[in-house]
Amino acid sequence: MRVLLLLALLAACERAAPPAAPAGQGLVAGNPLLAHGDARQTVAHRGTRRFEFPAVAGAASSYRERITTDGQGRFALEPLEAHQASAGEWAQFELVQRVRQGFLFRYRDFVVRDPERFARNWSTHTLTRTEVVAGRDCALYHVERLQGEPRTFELALDPETGLILASREHDAGGRLVAEMRYETLQLAPDLSTVAWHQASNLERPVDSVPALATELGVRCLEPRLLPAGYGPIEVATVEDGAGTTWLKHTYSDGIETLFFLQALEPAGRSAGSASTGAGVQGVEAGKVMVFELGSARAVQGRVEGFRILAVGEVGETELLDLIESALP
């Protein structure tokens, strides 16, 4: 249930797509990945996709899904099968995938979320070869992180639609971390029977954190120490379905996302489910727990009376430092 609650907090609401690249900014403007913004949001299509996560155990290591979008921001992700999964494992996996549908659409795929930081933190090179994916001739691009832990992507982009039809992500040691590939692609599909994703976390943008703190009469935390290359892209409140509103800070290095969430309740309220775990510096053992969420890490618990959650594809120490830097 802890993971389902976490995913409910992070699930996407139906808001605008990540910003498209502004014109006239050198590398950013000339990069075809950015010229279309997030093409999934603007190109109506349906397709089956296969995902591989070699380092993940169980049903989540290899599975297929159907994606449908209407080109106006609506979407649906339908899990189809998980390879080498028992009936019981599939039933649990399918439930989790449906619950985390908004999160998966918004944060799992390769998307340039902050063009300026992408230009500073990542390099992009056009490969000389091409590749056919789902019957489409795709141009190939190599994207490599310049800040922080090395990470690379190889992307197959359909020039006609701007859709990324295949992606391969490798870690610092060159090991495959994740792979996505469209097996079929249908443009302008019949959408009359699609059950569109309906957001349930009531996400609302926050214009002023101090004003929100004054309105609610609570202290709002804000991290001061971010991993190298990361910066803020949005602040919002979300609801967890259990009656608690959370303040959600979202950061990005241009591609990857990092989240810091704080329950907006009086500091010191009974933690109830605070768990044990390792601590770093001011974040004490016994106050938080660290666990894996796919290729990301999450830190959850209560520190100095504040109920907090931090999630991102960064190291445990960086997440704990992020939390410590937010404390009064």
Give CA 138 to chain center in angstroms. Answer: 25
User: Where are the domains positioned within the chain?
Assistant: 2-187, 204-326
Query: Within a 13 Å sphere around the CA of 221, how many CA atoms are in the beta-carbon half?
Result: 29
Which of 67-81, 100-114, 249-263 has the lowest average pLDDT? 100-114
- Residue 94 confidence class, pLDDT cut points 50, 70, 90: very high
Looking at residue 25, its pLDDT comes to 35
3-state class (DSSP) for residue 141: strand
Looking at residue 72, its pLDDT comes to 93
Query: Which CATH architecture best describes the domain 2-187?
Result: Clam (2.50)
Sign of CA dihedral 48, 127, 177, 147: negative
CATH number listed for the domain at residues 204-326: 3.30.200.100
- Residue 13 confidence class, pLDDT cut points 50, 70, 90: very low
Structural tokens at position 147: 């800040």
CA–CA separation, 183 vs 311, rounded Å? 30
- Residue 110 confidence class, pLDDT cut points 50, 70, 90: very high
CA–CA separation, 186 vs 140, rounded Å? 21
3-state class (DSSP) for residue 104: helix
- Angle CA(106)–CA(107)–CA(112) in degrees, nearest 5? 95
Residues 6+ apart with CB under 8 A from 191: 44, 68, 70
DSSP state letter for 283: B
Structural tokens at position 299: 């830190």
Average pLDDT over residues 273-301: 63
CA–CA separation, 139 vs 159, rounded Å? 7
User: Do 114 and 254 touch, CB atoms closer than 8 A?
Assistant: yes
CA–CA separation, 135 vs 116, rounded Å? 33
Residue carrying the six token digits 């590939």: 181
Q: One fold for both 2-187 and 204-326? A: no
What count of other Cβ atoms lies within 10 Å of the Cβ of residue 245?
A: 18
- The 10s digit of each residue's pLDDT in 181-209 is 999 999 999 999 999 998 776 788 999 99
279 vs 308, higher pLDDT: 308
DSSP state letter for 20: P
CA–CA separation, 143 vs 221, rounded Å? 34
pTM here?
Answer: 0.81
Query: Within a 13 Å sphere around the CA of 138, how many CA atoms are in the beta-carbon half?
Result: 24
